[in-house]
Amino acid sequence: MVQGTMVNSLELGPGVSAPWHMHPGAQEIVFVLDGGVIVEVEGEGSKELGPGGITLIAAETPHLVRNDSATTAAKTLVVYSRADKQMPFLVVLSKPT
């Protein structure tokens, strides 16, 4: 059961990456508005997304989103559906081996 949904815009400049992290109790949907991103999900590898690209990341799944472009910013819309608002929203992790 979803206790809350949060929508966030995320802009990643050229060469910028989020750290490895996960969202306890929250699945994440990443939708690319402009530019392109690489989404790395532990156990699933990497996926390149361009404008209109979308991916779903399950709760408690280590992942990161990065912009490998040297010149172009990436703009995304990120939706989080939280099953438990009492859990921390974000946990930063070391890179999986």
pLDDT for 8-36, tens place per residue?
Answer: 999 999 999 999 999 999 999 999 999 99
- For 45, residues 6+ apart whose C-beta sits below 8 A from its C-beta are none
Whether residue 93 has pLDDT greater than 80: yes
Q: What is the pLDDT of residue 4?
A: 86
Give the mean model confidence (pLDDT) for residues 45-51: 97
Q: In this structure, is residue 92 part of a structural domain?
A: no
Whether residue 95 has pLDDT greater than 90: no
Q: In this structure, is residue 35 part of a structural domain?
A: yes
Q: How many CB atoms lie within 10 A of CB 87?
A: 15
Q: What is the DSSP string of 32-84?
A: EEES-EEEEETTTEEEEE-TT-EEEE-TT--EEEE---SS--EEEEEEEEES-
Q: In this structure, is residue 95 part of a structural domain?
A: no
pLDDT bucket at 97, cuts 50 / 70 / 90: low
Q: In this structure, is residue 96 part of a structural domain?
A: no
For the chain, the domain total comes to: 1
Of 41, 46, 1, whose CA–CA distance to 25 is shortest?
1
Tokens matching residue 7: 């929508």
CATH of the domain at 66: 2.60.120.10
Q: In this structure, is residue 97 part of a structural domain?
A: no
Q: In this structure, is residue 70 part of a structural domain?
A: yes
Q: In this structure, is residue 15 part of a structural domain?
A: yes
pLDDT bucket at 87, cuts 50 / 70 / 90: confident
The reported pTM is 0.90
Q: Which domain holds residue 13?
A: 4-87
Q: What single-letter amino acid sits at 17?
A: S
